[in-house]
């Protein structure tokens, strides 16, 4: 199944997408949908339908209780940044104000001159998970989405803690869809992931190359705090980021950033100086 959160005149609505048709559900967002423990069997569709081509996507989960992100999770990215392979996941957080929709503009704050791209597979929690085993973690995953963890490198590197460079308001596109998939197949076979800037490919990887896979991450994070329906986990980015290039390259006004995950969807965001 494929779901999205769209903007409508009254606010936002969760929709079920089947082919070229999106049917509104009786929920204001995908986050509210997932808060129903029986969401998979109680979709509560309305009679309002839209053509997929005309959808105005809001960010997939407008108000998650938490957004947990993983750094240093692809071997090639770790090596390009000159670091050793970690023995435990590197975790940091974002806040909901950072999240935008799949086609929204990324406003590049004048506070930073080093905005960088980071294509990522996103995991969306569908069932409450606390101190869970990997088997329980697998069952708590609702599905997957696309994220670009756009990062202000100058702010990120001001201190050893990354948060200040990772959660600039309106910087992180998430969506367009939540796609339910066979979690084991995703882990074992992987999904192609890529990022382009103005049509030039910057990143390409397969998610099976993740050091810490989605099931392990859910189990690991659940030992720290309770994961709730609608929570978002960004699983990390592969090599090819602008900060590691020679010469270094960063996003600028007018750039078109395209992020894709095979079978999940595409983000297409224009960058504008703010």
pLDDT average, residue stretch 236-241: 95
Which pLDDT score is estimated for 222? 98
The answer to whether residue 66 scores a pLDDT higher than 80 is yes
pLDDT average, residue stretch 33-47: 93
What's the whole-number average pLDDT of the chain?
A: 96
Indicate whether 42 and 76 sit together in one domain.
Answer: no
Residues 220 and 142: beta-carbon distance below 8 Å = no
The answer to whether residue 77 scores a pLDDT higher than 80 is no
Name the residue with higher pLDDT: 263 or 72.
Answer: 263
Residues 136 and 217: beta-carbon distance below 8 Å = no
The answer to whether residue 81 scores a pLDDT higher than 80 is no
- For residue 261, the surrounding DSSP H or E stretch is strand 256-261
What is the 8-class DSSP label of residue 58? P
pLDDT digits (tens, 9 = 90+) for 150-188: 999 999 999 999 999 999 999 999 999 999 999 999 999
Indicate whether 166 and 135 sit together in one domain.
Answer: yes
Query: What CATH number corresponds to the domain at position 134?
Result: 3.90.850.10
Indicate whether 164 and 250 sit together in one domain.
Answer: yes
Indicate whether 189 and 155 sit together in one domain.
Answer: yes
Cα(231)–Cα(60) distance, integer angstroms: 11
- For residue 137, the surrounding DSSP H or E stretch is helix 134-140
Q: Which of 87, 84, 92, 45 is nearest to 68 (CA)?
A: 92
Residue 75's pLDDT band (cuts 50, 70, 90): confident
pLDDT average, residue stretch 62-82: 88
Which pLDDT score is estimated for 68? 98
* Residue 145, domain member (yes or no): yes
- For residue 50, the surrounding DSSP H or E stretch is strand 45-51
Q: Please report the beta strands in 52-137, taking only residues with DSSP state E, as ranges in sequence order.
A: 67-71, 90-94, 99-100, 106-108, 115-116, 119-125
pLDDT digits (tens, 9 = 90+) for 94-113: 999 999 999 999 999 999 99
Indicate the number of domains in the chain: 2
The answer to whether residue 80 scores a pLDDT higher than 90 is no
Indicate whether 83 and 153 sit together in one domain.
Answer: yes
Indicate whether 19 and 102 sit together in one domain.
Answer: no
Range of the domain at 143: 67-273
Indicate whether 86 and 50 sit together in one domain.
Answer: no
Which pLDDT score is estimated for 85? 83
Indicate whether 256 and 189 sit together in one domain.
Answer: yes
Helix (H, G, I), strand (E, B) or coil at 133: coil
How many other C-beta atoms lie within 10 A of the C-beta of residue 116? 25
Which pLDDT score is estimated for 189? 95
Q: Residue 77 burial by CB count (10 A; 0-12/13-18/19+): exposed, middle or buried?
A: buried
Which pLDDT score is estimated for 243? 95
Indicate whether 89 and 45 sit together in one domain.
Answer: no
In sequence order, what are the residues at sequence separation of 6 or more whose Cβ sits closer than 8 angstroms to the Cβ of residue 2?
Answer: 16, 17, 18, 177, 178, 179, 180
* Residue 60, domain member (yes or no): no
User: What residues pair up with 6 in beta bridges, in sequence order?
Assistant: 13, 57
pLDDT digits (tens, 9 = 90+) for 180-207: 999 999 999 999 999 999 999 999 999 9
Cα(73)–Cα(224) distance, integer angstroms: 19
Cα(194)–Cα(242) distance, integer angstroms: 14
Indicate whether 43 and 107 sit together in one domain.
Answer: no
Indicate whether 73 and 122 sit together in one domain.
Answer: yes
Indicate whether 191 and 98 sit together in one domain.
Answer: yes
């Amino acid at each position: 199944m494929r779901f999205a959160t769209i903007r409508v005149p009254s606010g936002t609505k969760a929709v079920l997408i089947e082919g070229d048709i999106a049917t509104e559900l009786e929920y204001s967002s995908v986050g509210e949908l997932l808060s129903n423990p029986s969401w998979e069997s109680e979709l509560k569709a309305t009679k309002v339908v839209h053509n997929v081509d005309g959808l105005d996507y809001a960010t997939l989960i407008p108000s998650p209780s938490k957004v947990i992100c993983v750094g240093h999770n692809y071997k090639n990215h770790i090596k390009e940044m000159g670091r050793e392979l970690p023995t435990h996941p590197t975790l940091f957080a974002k806040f909901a104000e950072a999240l935008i929709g799949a086609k929204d503009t990324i406003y590049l704050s004048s506070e930073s001159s080093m905005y960088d791209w980071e294509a990522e597979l996103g995991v969306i929690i569908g069932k409450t998970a606390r101190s869970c085993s990997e088997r329980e973690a697998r069952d708590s995953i609702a599905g997957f989405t696309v994220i670009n963890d756009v990062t202000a490198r100058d702010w990120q590197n001001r201190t050893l803690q990354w948060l200040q460079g990772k959660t600039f308001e309106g910087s992180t596109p998430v969506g367009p869809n939540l796609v339910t998939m066979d979690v084991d197949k995703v882990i074992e076979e992987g999904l192609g992931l890529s990022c382009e800037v103005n049509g030039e490919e910057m990143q390409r990887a397969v998610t099976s190359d993740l050091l810490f896979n989605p099931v392990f991450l859910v189990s690991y994070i659940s030992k720290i705090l309770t994961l709730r329906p609608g929570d978002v986990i960004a699983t990390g980015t592969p090599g090819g980021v602008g900060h590691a290039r020679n010469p270094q390259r960063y996003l600028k006004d007018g750039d078109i950033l395209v992020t894709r995950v095979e079978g999940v969807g595409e983000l297409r965001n224009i960058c504008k100086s703010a």
